[in-house]
Amino acid sequence: MRLTLACIAALLVCAPAKPQTLPGFAAGSVRPELDWEARFRVIPDAANLRTYDQRLSARPHHVGSPYDKDNADWIFSLFRQWGLDARIETFDVLFPTPKERVLELVEPVPFTAKLEEPVVGGDPSTEQRAEQLPTYNAYSIDGDVTAPLVYVNYGVPDDYKELDRLGISVKGAIVIARYGSSWRGTKPKVAAEHGAVGCLIYSDPREDGYFEGETFPAGPYRPKDGVQRGSVMDMPVYPGDPLTPGIGSTPGAKRLPLSQAETLTKIPVMPISYADAQPLLAALGGPIAPEGWRGALPITYRVGPGPAKVRLKLSFDWGTKTLYDVIAQIPGAQYPDEWVIRGNHHDAWVNGAEDPSSGAASVLEEARGFAALLRQGWRPKRTVLFCVWDGEEPGLLGSTEWAEQHAAELTRKAVAYINSDSNGRGYLNMGGSQSLEQLINGVAREITDPETKRTVWSRLQARLISEGADRQELRSRADLRISALGSGSDYSVFLDHLGIPSLNLGYGGEDTGGIYHSIYDDFYWYTHFSDTDFAYGRALAQTAGTAVMRLAGAELIPYDFGGLSDAVRRYLNEVEKLARDQGDAVAERNRQILDGVFAATNDPRRPKALPVVEQVPPTLDFAPLEHAAGLLQTAAERYRKAALRAAGDGSKLAEASTAQANAKLMLVERALTLDSGLPSRPWFKHQIYAPGLYTGYGVKTLPAVRESIEQKQWDEAARQIPRLAKVLESASQAIDSAAAPLK
């Protein structure tokens, strides 16, 4: 018999498909789950997302504003309308708003900063002046300072090292830093540590203005008067209400006096536009700024100090405002005390069509979808909570206060928290606990990219390959690595404080612009320049919704610890290399000092301070961590085998042993926390992930060890290594305990 090509093709098509498996699901449960997921994914509708986004962003709706409560009430009524069990939980928090804002250049030529974002013709939202918050940084202290100006680049610790080399001190000065590189609250914090008396933060056109593309309204980028508002609370110490660290800010809660609130800035700070910044920067003398410090303004960037002298006067209304968190709850049919939580905030700095409404709209559409599935007979095994938070912008207030208030219950019950914050056009960003790496990769393989019709997983893989990352691994590893989470959104309290496995999801990368936290983040901008047809809003609802369904529907909680142990191994390698590199760098610099290299290369017309010989750091003993990482890997492999065997043989997923395993599984991520927290910041309990003390948004993995090394605190590093090793050992034991009932 002669096989024609058509025959071969037919044979291939007709070959019986390999039976699909789903981690955590018994063989017989896979098909029904996939069917329900498919039914869910046809529900999200771009037209609805558009309607929600338009409604949510119709007026400015920051904490304490009338439209903030209005939105909460509307969300609540939607949930109710869809038949969900919903409630609004309120908290009272410290939230300062500006009373007075003055910025003047007093020398060498007078100039008064405008501090205002103009109306843009054709964009009606920009006209809502009466309801807009002025441009300011929340949780700056009051102050009235006049001082010489110093340009400090991004204002991160390395920039001050460079200033030292230039022989420039900011003591008694007002610094001007550009946005970028770090969490904005890092800038005044580091400035104050170096003796500055005030801090300005401006948006350089290099970052998100004309250097990147056409400015609004001709294009998506920041116009010259656009200002990035934002919180400067010291969130890497603790987020949430500054007056109630660690507890919910309910009416009766014990509050710190304002003077003891650690997370307020130490010096006054204000954000400004590049139109306001240019005359200040142009008036600076002193050394030419190092090349990497120069932005895109048509000036010679200089460092100062002076002759520019600046007056900054700020005062705030330090009143208390009420937060409205909207919560909808779908009880679990089998494990009602195992919670899968999905959230996005609803408060904005401005109209916020992108941030947060584009993400909040997806949560609403997921909730509507789940309500529809419930009517069709779907029953999640676990309880699902939809949370639409208030007060994220000022300091993750709504999520933090809620989770602190319900900490005991969450610690017992929470399986996972899935966050988003806003959404755009492009690629799926997957960040989070690596115990959910396998899960979210599986979900990403189910979602169709609106532009290419590939799966969003394969599109992301293609992008990573095209960017030249480790191609060998990208092509062969089962899952794409998910990034560890720092901070900057509502997952922080769940992951960092309570040790609840968390994910942060969103699409982006083709939606660049420069309207972040300015009045131009509105429906006009979003529908002209970002996910204009809400196709990616639909994709986000499909992605997060599928993830929630899978987590809530699996017999066995679909954690996997292979990704976790793999990540810990990598982080450990990084930290060991960091220690070695630090040692090598000190030794090399010392040698260069002794050889006279710095003196020989010092330009007498542009002299730099000569460095001094530094003690070569001790060699750290990483053996305990090496040992613990090995245990973790072994435990992860054992668990994976046990879970696979259990799922492969339906009988093994007997209810009793599964329930027992689930209860143990929830303890694994908790085992990665320590009650005493991280050095100098006890609120942060997770020992694998934390926002950097000096990066803010940026994650520091194995933070206690890594940050000690970075800060050259060698004794502290030596103390933290065995402490972290014990944490990894506990987690390994927790994994082993979870595997036991499955055997």
Helix 535-553 and helix 46-56, axial crossing angle in degrees, nearest 10 = 100
Stretch that binds its own copies, among 59-67, 180-188, 290-298, 312-320 (CB under 8 A): 290-298
> In the beta sheet, which residues pair with residue 86?
328
C-alpha distances (whole Å) from 107 to each of 29, 254, 273, 308 are 74, 47, 20, 5
Among 4, 601, 615, 676, binds its own copies (CB under 8 A): 601
Residue 109 in contact with its own copies, rule: CB under 8 A: no
Residue 256 in contact with its own copies, rule: CB under 8 A: no
Closest CA to 213 of 511, 437, 442, 566: 511
Closest CA to 402 of 74, 682, 138, 88: 88
Show the 3-state SS of 216-264: CCCCCECCCCCCCCEECCCCCCCCCCCCCCCCCCCCCCCCCCHHHCCCC
* Residues 537 and 423 sit within 8 Å (Cβ to Cβ): yes
Interface map 538-577 toward its own copies (x if CB under 8 A): ----------------------------------------
CB of 608 to its own copies, least distance (A): 11
Among 462, 586, 718, 740, binds its own copies (CB under 8 A): 462
Stretch that binds its own copies, among 207-215, 619-627, 684-692, 705-713 (CB under 8 A): 207-215
> Any idea what DSSP says for residue 143?
E
> Any idea what DSSP says for residue 740?
G
CB of 44 to its own copies, least distance (A): 21
* Residues 74 and 388 sit within 8 Å (Cβ to Cβ): no
436 or 460: CB nearest its own copies: 460
CB of 302 to its own copies, least distance (A): 9
Residue 603 in contact with its own copies, rule: CB under 8 A: yes
CB of 401 to its own copies, least distance (A): 40
Among 51, 458, 657, 660, binds its own copies (CB under 8 A): 458
Q: Give exposure, 368-382, as e/b (b: 16+ Cβ within 10 Å).
A: bbbbbbeeeebebbb
Stretch that binds its own copies, among 182-190, 263-271, 599-607, 687-695 (CB under 8 A): 599-607
Conformational region of residue 401, where left means phi above 0, alpha means psi within -120 to 50, and beta covers everything else: alpha
Residue 463 in contact with its own copies, rule: CB under 8 A: yes
The tokens describing 328, both together, are 């909808």
Residue 604 in contact with its own copies, rule: CB under 8 A: yes
CB of 110 to its own copies, least distance (A): 22
Q: In what order do the strands lie in the sheet with 198-202?
A: 111-112, 97-107, 309-317, 143-151, 174-178, 198-202, 269-272
Task: Quote the CA–CA distance of 306 and 285 in Å, as a whole number.
Answer: 6
Among 40, 76, 210, 526, binds its own copies (CB under 8 A): 210
603 or 715: CB nearest its own copies: 603
Residue 447 in contact with its own copies, rule: CB under 8 A: no
Residues with Cβ within 8 Å of residue 553, at least 6 apart in sequence? 25, 29, 33, 36, 380, 381, 382
74 or 211: CB nearest its own copies: 211
Residue 584 in contact with its own copies, rule: CB under 8 A: no
Among 47, 478, 599, 609, binds its own copies (CB under 8 A): 599
Residue 219 in contact with its own copies, rule: CB under 8 A: yes
Residue 296 in contact with its own copies, rule: CB under 8 A: yes
Closest CA to 504 of 519, 518, 488: 488
Stretch that binds its own copies, among 90-98, 260-268, 353-361, 463-471 (CB under 8 A): 463-471
CB of 326 to its own copies, least distance (A): 34
CB of 298 to its own copies, least distance (A): 4
284 or 500: CB nearest its own copies: 284
CB of 17 to its own copies, least distance (A): 23
CB of 56 to its own copies, least distance (A): 25
Residue 465 in contact with its own copies, rule: CB under 8 A: yes
Among 471, 580, 641, 743, binds its own copies (CB under 8 A): 471
Within 613-717, strands assigned E span 689-691, 699-701
**Tokens 């009602």 sit at which residue?**
336
Task: Quote the CA–CA distance of 146 and 584 in Å, as a whole number.
Answer: 43
* Residues 84 and 90 sit within 8 Å (Cβ to Cβ): no
Among 108, 118, 596, 618, binds its own copies (CB under 8 A): 596
Residue 675 in contact with its own copies, rule: CB under 8 A: no
CB of 465 to its own copies, least distance (A): 5
Stretch that binds its own copies, among 128-136, 203-211, 355-363, 566-574 (CB under 8 A): 203-211
Residue 459 in contact with its own copies, rule: CB under 8 A: yes
596 or 618: CB nearest its own copies: 596
Tell me which amino acid residue 683 is. Answer: W
CB of 595 to its own copies, least distance (A): 7
What's CA 28's distance to the chain center, in Å? Answer: 37
What's CA 404's distance to the chain center, in Å? Answer: 19
Residue 288 in contact with its own copies, rule: CB under 8 A: yes
Residue 111 in contact with its own copies, rule: CB under 8 A: no
Interface map 383-422 toward its own copies (x if CB under 8 A): ----------------------------------------
CB of 530 to its own copies, least distance (A): 11
Q: Which residues inside 220-239 make contact with its own copies, applying CB under 8 A?
A: 221
Q: Helix, strand, or coil here: 185?
A: coil
Q: CA-based diameter of the chain, in Å?
A: 95
Residue 205 in contact with its own copies, rule: CB under 8 A: yes
Among 114, 294, 313, 608, binds its own copies (CB under 8 A): 294
Task: Quote the CA–CA distance of 111 and 304 in Å, as a whole number.
Answer: 18
Residue 23 in contact with its own copies, rule: CB under 8 A: no
Residue 298 in contact with its own copies, rule: CB under 8 A: yes
Closest CA to 558 of 18, 23, 12, 7: 23
Among 297, 443, 724, 734, binds its own copies (CB under 8 A): 297
The tokens describing 456, both together, are 């969003």
* Residues 437 and 416 sit within 8 Å (Cβ to Cβ): no
Residue 293 in contact with its own copies, rule: CB under 8 A: no
* Residues 138 and 347 sit within 8 Å (Cβ to Cβ): no
The residue count of the chain comes to 743
CB of 524 to its own copies, least distance (A): 18
Site size for its own copies, by CB under 8 A? 42
38 or 587: CB nearest its own copies: 587
Residue 595 in contact with its own copies, rule: CB under 8 A: yes
Task: Quote the CA–CA distance of 304 and 301 in Å, as a whole number.
Answer: 9
CB of 153 to its own copies, least distance (A): 15
Residues with Cβ within 8 Å of residue 633, at least 6 apart in sequence? 565, 566, 569
Interface map 508-537 toward its own copies (x if CB under 8 A): --x---------------------------
Residue 428 in contact with its own copies, rule: CB under 8 A: no
Conformational region of residue 181, where left means phi above 0, alpha means psi within -120 to 50, and beta covers everything else: left
Closest CA to 180 of 350, 284, 295: 295
Count CB-CB contacts under 10 A for residue 721: 24
592 or 660: CB nearest its own copies: 592
Residue 597 in contact with its own copies, rule: CB under 8 A: yes
Rule CB under 8 A: which residues touch its own copies?
A: 205, 210-215, 219, 221, 288, 294, 296-300, 426, 451-452, 454, 458-459, 462-463, 465-466, 471, 510, 588, 592, 595-606
